[in-house]
Amino acid sequence: MTHVQPEVKKRKVDLQNRQFNPDWEWKYFVADVSDNVICLICKDKISGKKEYNVRRHYNSRHNDYDRMQMPEERKTKAKTLKSSLFQQQQFFTKPNLEAKAATLASISVCNIMAKRGKPYLDGEMVKEAILAAVENICPDKVSQFQSISLSRRTVTRRIE
């Protein structure tokens, strides 16, 4: 005789509609980042959006922050830590956004050149004109405009 185990239903945490409580930011120094709970002190990801998990992490690793008893003091510290975390995250995304913007600018210029029927070699002349204008208007952004690729090969590839 074979023994058959009953089918066990697994709980789906995603279906329980757990939500991040904004008060946790200053009580436990955590933030909701991309639908994850992140500790602002040690930058660890805390599993699940449950107060028990957040409190356990805080009590086991960051008890020294309990000396800040005033809510205003805790709120300003949490705000400082949160802005620090977002600055760290932007450090990696900003260059990617600049590269993406340079590519989109190059595509836009190539599109205009194709509509006007201009020779592909004119891309270098257009870039030179753009750089001359930028140097006079906003010299601090010249490096961003230098990264726009408008060589003959690039223009040919983008138009095709």
Tens-place pLDDT, residues 45-77: 888 888 888 889 888 888 777 666 677 888 888
pLDDT for res 21: 81
CA–CA distance, 143 with 148 (Å, rounded to integer):
9
Catalogue the long-range contacts made by 40-48 (C-beta closer than 8 Å, 24 or more residues apart): 40/78, 40/81, 40/82, 40/84, 40/85, 41/65, 41/81, 43/85, 48/13, 48/18
pLDDT for res 144: 84
CA within 13 Å, CB half, 54: 24
pLDDT for res 148: 86
pLDDT for res 10: 63
Low-confidence ranges of the chain (pLDDT < 70): 1-17, 66-69, 92-94
pLDDT for res 6: 66
CA within 13 Å, CB half, 84: 14
